[in-house]
Amino acid sequence: MFQEIKASWALLLGIGFMMLGNGLQGTLLGVRATLEGFPTFTTGVVMSFYFIGMLLGGILTPKLVARVGHIRVFAALASTASIAILVHSLYVNPYTWSLMRLVTGICYSGLYVVSESWLNDRASNETRGKMLSMYMVIITLGMGSGQFLLNVADPASAELFILISVIISFSLIPILLTVRPAPRFDEVESMSILTLFRASPLAVISNVLTGAAHGTVFGLGAVYGLNKGFSNELVSLFMASFLLGGLLLQWPIGWLSDRVGRRAIMLGIAIASVGLTLLASVWPSDSALFIPLITLVGGFVMPMYSLCIAYANDRLPPQKIVAASGAMVIAAGIGLSIGPVLVASAMSNFGPDTYFLGIAIVFVLIALAVINSMRRWVMTSEDLKTQAPALAPGPIGSPVAAFVAPDAMDYAQALVEDELEKLDEEQAESENTEFGSKLEGVSDADSEGDELRPKGAAP
């Protein structure tokens, strides 16, 4: 494990700086949009373009990497992201910002693909999970730390935009100076959402809904805070609390899902998220317990994505996991793009408190989907757990993480179906044998009757 980290320190350091800039960027744009008088619905639409870009980046980047390699793609995307944030400060209007958010989403999604495929190439089967977990921790810490940089300058000025550009540009230095060779990237086959839905409807539905919740949290969190009268310092702390909660509870929740079963934990997490978000919608924001409450909300809301990925992987054969993860990226992208728009519309019409109500509704739908799956699925979660080693979800990171992670586990449901087919074949063979015996017995009886039957007698 230490050798893999030593071999990948440049990449980890670079992605850490990228996430530091990304964490500040998302919150800064929400704050600046509110200061500029953007309507809440307009802000939601602008922020959703980032997630559309992530969806496109996940599709385009593997082809670019296959053509020119990891290092060149990383440098090109980071440079483009550095330029895009500066354009935000030069042209402050919804149209330019929407286009730049789209470009930024493509860049960051591509950076995730490059980084994660690079790490997967460096790691072995025994260390890959730990490597990706460390990578995701760095992502979470980087994004969380970036929230507090909002306080180093006035959001109404261009200084923070310049700071983000500097941070992103700095992330290139360790990557470009590394002496380690870049890995060879093999493009994987694709899988449609419909195909994945047939294999695991709950995974697709829950992933779309989880994407909607996460897109709302990060796309509209700063807008909610400012509409509630938060200071810039409190907005930073508010946004960082979601990430801190996810970081603290991700591993315990993943550990429980390995032992209790995915769907049982998904249902429990969904119900807890509904209760906590409804409580947050009515809790006084000036209370000393408000930020701890938001941390707890983040602790239950954020891990759901990893549970969705793990649940899907539990039901896929090893050779299909990477291809199916591309479909999961698309599913998450759909939710990430739609969620902020719908909740922003509700906030415009009914006030900022619908921010938490929108998240609560999403998790109500997830809970209903899990209950329906439990009702229809014959196999219990315990059966799945005992027949195949489950992929332990790591800390919440990019939706592209599963797209490039080749870790695989036994396909428990396929094993069960194979056993059922074998039993059906054995039963059919047994029935055919028994029928053949009876038929032979009848033939023998007829033969004996023919011997005893007088000549000329009718049979």
Give me the pLDDT at residue 394, please. 38
Q: What's the pLDDT band for 139 if we cut at 50, 70, 90?
A: confident
Q: Is the pLDDT of residue 452 over 60?
A: no
Give me the pLDDT at residue 86, please. 95
* Mean pLDDT value across the chain: 77
Q: What's the pLDDT band for 343 if we cut at 50, 70, 90?
A: very high
**Taking the CA atoms of the chain, what radius of gyration do you get in angstroms?**
27
Give me the pLDDT at residue 128, please. 54
Candidate from 65-79, 318-332, 369-383, 418-432 with smallest mean pLDDT: 418-432
On whether the CB atoms of residues 267 and 394 are closer than 8 A, the answer is: no
**Tokens 């309507």 sit on residue:** 39
Give me the pLDDT at residue 162, please. 95
C-alpha span between 149 and 219 (Å, rounded): 18
Give me the pLDDT at residue 51, please. 85
Helix (H, G, I), strand (E, B) or coil at 289: coil
C-alpha span between 397 and 19 (Å, rounded): 10
Q: Is the pLDDT of residue 125 over 90?
A: no
**Can you tell me the mean pLDDT for 411-430?**
51
Tokens in use for 240?
A: 């960082």
C-alpha span between 261 and 257 (Å, rounded): 5
Give percent of the chain with pLDDT exceeding 90. Answer: 30
Q: How many CA atoms lie within 13 A of 30 on its CB side?
A: 31
Torsion angle defined by CA atoms of residues 397, 401, 407 and 409, in that order, rounded to the nearest 10 degrees: 70
pLDDT tens track for 188-212: 556 778 888 888 889 899 989 999 9
Q: Is the pLDDT of residue 176 over 70?
A: yes
Give me the pLDDT at residue 418, please. 52
C-alpha span between 315 and 7 (Å, rounded): 33
Q: Is the pLDDT of residue 82 over 90?
A: yes
C-alpha span between 458 and 335 (Å, rounded): 79
Helices marked H in 351-455 — which ranges?
Answer: 354-376, 381-387, 401-404, 412-452
**Can you tell me the mean pLDDT for 91-98?**
94
DSSP assignment of 41-89 equals: HHHHHHHHHHHHHHHHHHHHHHHHHHHH-HHHHHHHHHHHHHHHHHHHH
C-alpha span between 305 and 209 (Å, rounded): 9
Tokens in use for 36?
A: 């500029």
Contacts of 43 (CB under 8 A, 6+ apart): 30, 33, 34, 220, 223, 344
Q: Is the pLDDT of residue 283 over 60?
A: yes
Q: What's the pLDDT band for 1 if we cut at 50, 70, 90?
A: low
pLDDT tens track for 228-272: 999 888 998 999 999 889 888 877 887 788 788 888 999 999 999
Q: How many CA atoms lie within 13 A of 286 on its CB side?
A: 2
C-alpha span between 455 and 282 (Å, rounded): 101
Query: Which of 369, 349, 356 shows the shortest CA–CA distance to 276?
Result: 356
Q: What's the pLDDT band for 95 if we cut at 50, 70, 90?
A: very high
Give me the pLDDT at residue 14, please. 84
Q: Is the pLDDT of residue 99 over 60?
A: yes
Domains (range + CATH), the chain: 2-417 (1.20.1250.20)
On whether the CB atoms of residues 317 and 418 are closer than 8 A, the answer is: no
